[in-house]
Amino acid sequence: MYFAGVDIGSTMTKVVIVDEDGELCSRIVGPTGAEHRRLANRVMEEALKQANLPFNQISYVVATGYGRVNVPFADRQITELSCHAKGVSSLFPNVRIAIDIGGQDAKGMKIINGTLVDFVMNDKCAAGTGRFLEVVSDALGIKVEDLGSISLRSTNKVKISSVCTIFAQQEVVSYLSEGTPLEDIVAGLHEAIAGRVVRMVKRLKIEPDVVLTGGVAKNIGVVKAVRENIGLEVLVPEDPLLSGALGAAILGKETVLKALAKGELIPKKERRLEEATFFT
Amino acid sequence: MAWFMGIDIGSATSKGVIAKDGDLVGHHVLPSGTNYKMAAGKLREELLSKASLSQEEIACTIATGRGANNVLFADQQVADIICCARGINNIFPSVRTVIDVQDQSSQVIRIGEEGRVVNFATSEKCAAGSGRFLQVIANVLRIDLKDIGPLSLKSENPVIFTTGCAVFGETEAVSRVAEGNSKEDILAGVHKALAEKICALAERLGLEEEYAITSGGGLDIGLIKAIEGKLGIQLLVPPYPQLVTALGAAIIAAEKCPPKEE
């Protein structure tokens, strides 16, 4: 049996397929476009190809993320908080605090014995999310993926006084015009985003193990700054983007196995395959 | 005869006035750019040349605004809230509540007799609560700042902005354009969203008649109407809303510094 998790984030769409032992058979990441539906299909198709499986072999599909309602072939939708908590605990069984910094929001989750017990979230303000880094890296004329390595060269990071992303962008430009080294500006930006996220997560009382996920966790500079702000080791999965999709796939697997064990029907919505033309 | 100068260096524009006996004899506005010191110097030059005065004839200069410490030729610095209250008192003595909508923040100031500040509330430096939100959206819609007020008033069905962030608001505006909403309706939606943030500030502070609006926000009739509608009040609009704080600075200069000895 195979189980798929589809995580449609604001910026990236992720698909994971696992087998009944929880082994990863496939993982695909693609940018989320304006048309979620077509994209969900395309990314799913790629994942199936990678796993060398036909769609009817997938016993259960769980969709999550903010675009989860736009996955017409999903058997069930589950919120991203539950999926993240599940995905992170499957990778790090001792996780207590999971922090996810995505393209358009940031979440802190308290997890005890693999169960989500509390959370904090910011989806109201671009500061403290991946969007902050996207906007300012644009002003600096560098790629988001280069920020991390650039910041590691810094010896004297600047203080970004603006919380607001729009004003930070202006502040960055004025630092540039003063001749401040790029790496010191970038390190200051990482400190700003890490400080803001950690202040929010502190409401959950931070204790180890701490795990950082989401696209921003791919930035080594932010990971370092989060570590310094928390004062604890911060664990990052090999592929930090996938924890939500992985959790979705595992939750799907659990749903099916539980139903089978009890001899009950598998709780399913109707797969609206007419939207998913490529499966016919 | 003595002339007094007030220089208000804001994050977007720098404003300067020369006053004599509380009357404006010359004023100038220019973009602040990234070098506030240069902006301040340029402003002084323009002011003096417009008023046909030399530096020696200026008895005292007060600097105010976010970039006040870049005005190296100023005799003293005074907080912009104090200057704004004094300035509006000079123009409209009956005003007790000022709504000051700047580029980077908004503030509501309660003023007493003779333009004393009684209390005030300032928004966080958040673009969604300041004039910057309008600039961001105007940029998306490719329209001139001065046109946004009149266009917004033509709206019949303002769009609703669901976010409290100007960055996310920009994305929302792009989506609304793609869905075919008119510029008028999008602008009116921004005015509504911004007015809500500003009015929350005003309601926290408490309101007292009469009311005025100052700074760049006072140039935007769409925003003025949105605030008036939300609070159920009438706003007095000074002839040069952007210059009120600089005027206040010049008035304070006249009080603080007795005319220089010949």
DSSP A42: H
Domain interval for residue A124: 93-235
B47 and B137 part of one domain: no
Closest CA to B23 of B36, B11, B6, B44: B6
Q: What is the pLDDT of residue B178?
A: 85
Mean pLDDT of B48-62: 92
User: Contact at 8 Å (CB) between A83 and A247?
Assistant: yes
B111 and B65 part of one domain: no
Spell out the SS3 assignment of B127-172.
Answer: HHHCCHHHHHHHHHHCCCHHHHHHHHHCCCCCCCCCCCCHHHHHHH
B82 and B181 part of one domain: no
The number of distinct structural domains making up chain B is: 2
B101 and B226 part of one domain: yes
B2 and B102 part of one domain: no
Domain interval for residue B108: 93-237
B128 and B214 part of one domain: yes
A226 and A247 part of one domain: no
A224 and A248 part of one domain: no
Q: What is the pLDDT of residue A277?
A: 46
CATH code of residue A164: 3.30.420.40
pLDDT band at A71 (very low <50, low <70, confident <90, very high): confident
Identify whether B210 is preceded by a cis peptide bond (ω within 30 of 0). Answer: yes
Residue in B closest to A133 by C-alpha = B167
Q: Please name the member of A34, A166, A174 whose beta carbon is closest to the beta carbon of B167.
A: A166
Is residue A88 situated within a structural domain? Answer: no
CATH code of residue B134: 3.30.420.40
| Per-state percent for chain A, helix, strand, coil, to nearest 5 | 45, 20, 35
| Most distant CA pair in chain B, distance | 69
B252 and B213 part of one domain: no
In this predicted model, what pLDDT tens digit does every residue of B211-259 receive, in sequence order?
999 999 999 999 999 999 999 999 999 999 999 999 999 999 998 876 5
Rounded Cα distance, B109 and B160, in Å: 28
Q: What is the pLDDT of residue B249?
A: 96
A98 and A52 part of one domain: no
A105 and A194 part of one domain: yes
Q: What is the pLDDT of residue A36?
A: 61
A136 and A231 part of one domain: yes
In this predicted model, what pLDDT tens digit does every residue of A83-95 receive, in sequence order?
999 999 999 999 9
In this predicted model, what pLDDT tens digit does every residue of A8-56 receive, in sequence order?
988 888 999 999 888 888 898 888 766 666 677 788 888 898 989 888 8
In this predicted model, what pLDDT tens digit does every residue of A178-233 receive, in sequence order?
899 999 999 999 999 999 999 999 999 999 999 999 999 999 999 999 999 999 99
Mean pLDDT of A85-114: 94
Question: Does the structure show a pLDDT above 50 at B11?
Answer: yes
In this predicted model, what pLDDT tens digit does every residue of B79-101 receive, in sequence order?
999 999 999 999 999 999 999 99
Q: What is the pLDDT of residue A44?
A: 85
Got the DSSP string for A140-191?
Answer: HT--GGGHHHHHTT-SSPPP----SHHHHHHHHHHHHHTT--HHHHHHHHHH
The number of distinct structural domains making up chain A is: 2
Interface test with A, best of B165, B170, B171, B175 (most A CBs within 10 A): B165
Is A120 near chain B, with CB under 8 Å?
no
CB contact under 8 A, B167 and A126: yes
Mean pLDDT of B164-180: 90
B106 and B33 part of one domain: no
A209 and A249 part of one domain: no
B1 and B42 part of one domain: yes
B175 and B76 part of one domain: no
Task: Residue A177: list chain B partners with CB under 8 A.
Answer: 34-35
B80 and B97 part of one domain: no
A72 and A36 part of one domain: yes
Full-model pTM: 0.83
